[in-house]
Amino acid sequence: MSEVLLDGADFYALLRKKVKAAGSKSECARSLGVNVQTFSSMFHADRNPSRKLLDALGLERVELYRVKSKSKKQ
């Protein structure tokens, strides 16, 4: 199986899908074992997704870095 990477838009689309299936943000948070207020903040991108939420969704955070392109003036 190949590695699947989600960008921010994909992550929030997944959250919206989970909320729709649960019927509400509160029910979704409860079903994932996450505090309702904290979930709401993460849902609205006011705070980063917690490890607990990522674990409940079967996800892990990864960071990527890119080499800067060289300026022609160097």
Q: What is the pLDDT at residue 71? A: 72
23 in a structural domain: yes
Total count of domains within the chain = 1
72 in a structural domain: no
69 in a structural domain: no
Structural domain containing residue 38: 8-57
User: pTM for the full model?
Assistant: 0.80
63 in a structural domain: no
> What would the 3-class secondary structure string for 2-61 be?
CCCCCCHHHHHHHHHHHHHHHCCHHHHHHHHCCCHHHHHHHHCCCCCCCHHHHHHHCCCC
Q: How far apart are CA 37 and CA 45, in angstroms?
A: 12
Q: What is the pLDDT along the chain (74 residues), one digit of tens a residue?
A: 578 899 999 999 999 999 999 999 999 999 999 999 999 999 999 999 999 999 999 999 998 888 988 876 65
62 in a structural domain: no
3 in a structural domain: no
37 in a structural domain: yes
48 in a structural domain: yes
